Amino acid sequence: MLELQANTTVVDYLSDVAIADAIVGVLASGCVIVIALSLGGFSFFVPWMISATAVLLATGFLRARSEGNIWLKSVVISLASLLCAAFFGNIPMVGSSVPFLILPCVCGIWVGRRRRSVTTGNE
């Protein structure tokens, strides 16, 4: 019975909120590209790391009110950026970019949900 509830939660998330999270992730990827290129991202990897971390932290914070598992939401939001890294880079680049894409999004969602639960008094 518990297994059925867990599976319906994932299905509900995938059918309801995942599309919105994916669209927000594509918009966040566009912001990352614009910011990184304006910081000199043609020649260096560091502007991409800085802009991706900041933008995905803010994106996670903004999407914290929507339902879904924190890690699953973070992967869906970061999917567009991961696909860009895979398409334009190589496998080591994707592996090194995962901490700069998924973890800031997880932190943003966690802080947003924690802030909401503290201000409303719900734990």
How much is the pLDDT for 21?
92
Q: What is the pLDDT of residue 15?
A: 66
Q: CA nearest 52: which of 17, 22, 18, 85?
A: 85
pLDDT per residue over 18-35, tens digit each?
A: 889 999 999 999 999 899
**pTM of the predicted model as reported, rounded to 2 decimal places:** 0.79
Torsion of CA 82, 89, 97, 15, to 10 degrees: 10
At 61-102, the pLDDT tens digits run 999 888 888 999 999 999 998 888 888 877 777 888 888 889
Q: How far apart are CA 123 and CA 108, in angstroms?
A: 18
Q: Is 26 exposed, middle or buried (0-12, 13-18, 19+ CB in 10 A)?
A: middle
Q: At what angle do helices 70-88 and 91-120 cross, to 10 degrees?
A: 150
